[in-house]
Chains A and B, each alone.
Chain A
Amino acid sequence: MNMNKNNLILYSAILIFGLAAPFLFPAFKVQLSILCVLIVLATTWNIQGGEMGYNSFGNILFYGLGMYLCASVQVGMFFPLAEWTESGGEKTFVHTPTQFFQGMAVGLVVAAIVPTIVAGLIGYSILGLRGHYFAICTLGLGVAAGEISGGIEIIGAGQGFTTPPFPDVGSLEARGEFFYFLSFFTLILTFIAVRSIYSTRFKLILNAIRDNEDKAEAMGIETMKYKIIGWMISAFFCGLAGGIMGGLVGYIDSTDVAFDGREMGVFMVLMAILGGKGTLWGPIIGATIFHIFKEGFWTFFLGWQYVALGVLIVVIVIYFPEGIMGWLREKYPERFGEVVDEKDRKAQVELK
């Protein structure tokens, strides 16, 4: 995919829309920020889920880790962490604006780097598993992280952790705009990173691993190295997204917000599959559609959302496993740069 004129127009249109969106739709700022975070999660899940063929339920581990780390650093840099969590919702300590933004910046750096290191450390053991063993193992990792963090006192144990409230900087809109631009910037960063990854040999190696790992290994590719790097890239952006989401939600609970395998952990898989695994735009489209659907359902059918979610998973998985991009690709193969032989196509139609 080279940067032609059409792409340039598309990208600038999206960029302008993204920059103008919080002023055009001021009521939806939080929703738009969440959408950005969801797209980041879906896109990075797609790196190892779609391109590498390692379907992980465990990226929620990095997301939750990033969330806890960012908030803990933000608090711990200026105040005693234990007393903060002890006091719960009561605000005995107040961040000044400088402290808040400094803490947030350092927190996000830590939230991005530590999960990457964790992914690198556990990668050698976990990524040696294949297929469904990998899926179940990562599912276990996510749930175990949630259960264990729910028992640790210093980060609030079962009662949760209140992230520092946004400081008073004069404008009421500032909080929403700050988090929106933070998440939008992260989204652009992710998109550029993923897009440049996908135009290198690295993506071909990941695809080779997905298609036939043993053969890739026999061809002289150090599959384990590339698998770990792929997972580390995912972990980096998941941690970042988690850190932002923690500040956005304002409250961290071990099993309901941070390591929520039942929600976020499935959402990222579902969004990527809905849009189309193994494509650049698939997860983005999937996340957008899913978010609109989800918000509509969460608003109008409150209480039935998990029922809808369960049905949605089953329906998507059974009837729509290729996703929207896969469907488009089948319908308009020329648009995807596939050369179609007319004779061959007609012959196939006749065979049917």
Chain B
Amino acid sequence: MDFLVFQYPMITVQACLDGILLGVLFALIAYGMALQWGVMNIINIAQGDLVILGGYIAYFMYLYGIHPAWGVIVAPVIMYFVGIAIYKLVINKVVDRDLFISILATFGISILFMQLMNFAFGADVVLANSGYGTTMLFDSNVVLPNSKIFSAFISILFAACLVIYMKKSKLGRAIRATAQNARAAKILGVDTEKVYAATFGINAALCGVAGALISITFTIHPYMGLPYTIRSFMIVIVAGLGNLPGVAMSGMGLGVFEEFADYILGTEFRIGSVFLLLVLILVYRRFKLSRKREYLK
């Protein structure tokens, strides 16, 4: 445990920039989770595994000689249908049930996906090389891979497109109406079943984009899904449902936290610190809420 961070300020800058670029990706995944949490009231433990699956799509394009950056177009299309298939097979049976049932069901899907990906793609850590090179800043003291900048840019682009789509399109309006009150939306002629399926599909598509970007910038591995789920869950509870700027900000905050945890505690504690942070945030939130409850009394 050495405190290099405090001796060399450039490392701090490096960690902050890395963290922000990483956090934008987390925010994209968290946006998908917030969407389907808000609309269907389901916490999808398989979120991270959908991300990894999207990553493998981009990786396979890379293996077959197509530039992996095209994965951000192909992966969401495939993942949209994967998402709809999951919805039709499992999720529509647990939508109205107890929340724990849906958590457990998606946990089952997560285990299933993990193992199927392990069979199909092998247990190696892989990455799709985009060959984008790096950018040097501050007299080459800070090194930023261009792929990270590219991925942050694409994430923001997709998120912006989705926000506009949700505001303007008919389906977007139907989704927002269902999120507000599913029963009222049904009465007013919204086919909620279709809306749910579309929501889950859009969520999976977002995961696909994020996964493709992760396979370019970082590495993917069949068993790396759960940390992404936990990160997006954390971001959503910190930001609150339906708070888009909040999701972006807390995503970046988490990214920066992780980079610093990596430098200070060491890489082996990186995932552990994420999970520990989740516990701390939930406990903090519980004390904050209980104070509010007492005040209301």
Please give the residue numbers on chain A whose beta carbons come within 8 Å of chain B beta carbons, in ascending order.
Answer: 55, 125-126, 128-129, 131-133, 135-137, 139-141, 143-144, 146-148, 150-151, 157-158, 262, 266, 269, 273, 303-304, 306-307, 309-314, 317-318, 321
> B269, A317: Cβ atoms under 8 Å?
no
Q: Is the interface of B mostly helix, strand, loop or mixed?
A: helix
Which of B97, B100, B285 makes the CB contact (< 8 A) with A132? B100
What is the minimal beta-carbon distance from A135 to any residue of chain B, in angstroms?
5
Within 8 Å by CB of A306, from B100, B114, B275, lies: B114
Contact with A along B237-271 (1 / 0, CB 8 A): 10000000000000000000000000000101101
Say whether B78 faces chain A, with CB atoms less than 8 Å apart. no
**Could you tell me if B230 and A140 are in contact, using CB atoms closer than 8 angstroms?**
yes
Additional A-B contacts beyond A132-B99, A139-B230, A273-B104 (15; CB < 8 A): A55-B103, A128-B290, A136-B282, A137-B282, A144-B272, A144-B275, A144-B276, A146-B272, A147-B269, A148-B269, A306-B111, A306-B112, A309-B112, A310-B113, A321-B98
B275 engages A140 (CB within 8 Å): yes
State whether A125 and B286 are in contact (beta carbons under 8 Å apart), knowing that A147-B271, A151-B266 are contacts in the complex. yes
Q: What residues on A are CB-neighbors of B118 within 8 Å?
A: 306
Query: Does B28 touch A at the CB level, under 8 Å?
Result: no
Q: Is the CB of A128 within 8 A of B279?
A: no
Write out the residue numbers on chain B whose beta carbons fall within 8 Å of the beta carbon of A151.
266, 268-269, 272
Residues in B lying within 8 Å of A, measured CB to CB: 43, 90, 93-94, 97-101, 103-105, 107-116, 118-119, 226, 230, 233, 237, 266, 268-269, 271-272, 275-276, 278-279, 282-283, 285-287, 290
**Are A317 and B105 closer than 8 Å at their CB atoms?**
yes
Measured between beta carbons, the chain A residues less than 8 angstroms from B283 are: 125-126, 128-129, 137
Q: Are A137 and B109 in contact (CB under 8 A)?
A: no
A307 touches B112 (CB 8 A): yes
- CB-nearest residue of chain B relative to A147? B272
Residue pair A311, B269 in contact (C-beta under 8 Å):
no
Distance of A343 Cα from B94 Cα, bound (Å): 34
Q: Are A313 and B269 in contact, with the CB atoms below 8 A?
A: no
The answer, among B98, B112, B116, B278, for a CB contact under 8 Å with A137, is: B278
Question: Which A residues lie within 8 Å of B99 (CB)?
Answer: 131-132, 135
Main secondary structure of the interface of A (DSSP, over half): helix
Known A-B contacts A136-B233, A140-B230, A147-B269; the reply to A129 vs B114 at CB < 8 A is no
Known: A133-B282, A306-B115, A310-B109. A318 touches B90 (CB 8 A): yes
**Cβ-defined contact, A129 with B286, below 8 A:** yes
Q: B105 touching A310 by the CB < 8 A rule?
A: no
In the bound assembly, the distance between CA atoms of A310 and B119 in angstroms comes to: 14
Contact indicator A310/B272 (Cβ below 8 Å): no
User: Of B101, B107, B237, B271, which is within 8 A of A266 by CB?
Assistant: B107
Of A135, A266, A269, A311, the most chain B CB neighbours within 10 A belong to A135
Some 26 contacts from A to B, beta carbons below 8 A apart, are: A55-B100, A125-B287, A126-B279, A126-B282, A133-B286, A136-B230, A136-B278, A137-B283, A140-B282, A143-B226, A143-B271, A144-B279, A150-B268, A150-B272, A151-B266, A151-B272, A269-B104, A303-B119, A304-B115, A306-B111, A306-B114, A309-B112, A314-B108, A314-B112, A317-B101, A317-B108
Give bound CA distance, A55 to B105, whole Å. Answer: 14
Q: Is the CB of A131 within 8 A of B100?
A: yes
Could you tell me if B266 and A314 are in contact, using CB atoms closer than 8 angstroms? no
Nearest B residue to A125 by beta-carbon distance?
B283
What residues of chain A lie closer than 8 Å to B116, measured between beta carbons?
Answer: 307
Alpha-carbon gap, A128 to B271, bound state (A): 25
* Distance between Cα atoms of A151 and B230 in the complex (Å): 20
How far does the Cβ of B178 sit from chain A's closest Cβ, in whole Å? 20
Are the CB atoms of A147 and B115 closer together than 8 Å?
Answer: no
Question: A136–B43 contact, CB under 8 A?
Answer: yes
Q: Bound complex: CA of A125 vs CA of B266, how far in Å?
A: 28
Least CB separation from B111: chain A residue: A310
* A residues in contact with B43, CB < 8 Å: 132, 136
Closest 7 CB pairs of A and B: A310-B112, A313-B108, A147-B272, A144-B275, A306-B115, A310-B111, A314-B108
Q: Given the complex of chains A and B, what is the CA–CA distance between A132 and B99 in angstroms?
A: 6
- Known contacts A131-B100, A147-B269, A151-B266, A140 near B105 by CB under 8 Å: no
**Contact of A314 with B279 at beta-carbon distance under 8 Å, contacts A150-B268, A307-B115 already known:** no
A93 and B119 alpha carbons, distance in the complex (Å):
40
- The reply to whether B279 and A137 form a contact with Cβ atoms under 8 Å apart is yes
* B268 partner residues in chain A, CB cutoff 8 A: 150-151, 157-158
Contacts of B103 in A (CB 8 A): 55, 132, 135-136
Cβ of B233: which chain A residues have Cβ within 8 Å of it?
136
Q: Which interface residue of B93, B107, B110, B272 has the most chain A CB atoms within 10 A?
A: B107
Q: Give the residues in chain A near B93, CB-CB below 8 Å.
A: 318
* Cα(A269)–Cα(B105), bound, Å: 12
Q: Which residues of B contact A311 (CB under 8 A)?
A: 108, 112
The complex places the Cα of A303 from the Cα of B230 at a distance, in Å, of 27
Contacts of B97 in A (CB 8 A): 321
Q: In the complex, what distance in Å separates the CA atom of A155 from the CA atom of B80?
A: 45
Inter-chain contacts of B101 with A (CB < 8 A): 317-318, 321
CA distance A317 to B98 in the complex (A): 11
**Closest Cβ–Cβ distance, residue B26 to chain A (whole Å):** 16
CA distance A291 to B234 in the complex (A): 35
State whether A148 and B276 are in contact (beta carbons under 8 Å apart), knowing that A132-B100, A317-B108 are contacts in the complex: yes
Nearest CB to that of A144 among chain B residues?
B275
Nearest chain A CB to B232's CB is how many angstroms away? 11
Contacts of B286 in A (CB 8 A): 125, 128-129, 133
Distance from A296 Cβ to chain B, minimum over Cβ atoms (Å): 18
In Å, the complex CA distance between A143 and B273 comes to 10
A273–B287 Cα distance when bound, in Å, is: 31
Residues of B within 8 A of A303 (CB): 119
Q: How many angstroms between the C-alpha atoms of A125 and B93 in the bound complex? A: 33
> Which residue from A141, A148, A313 sits with its C-beta under 8 Å from B104?
A313
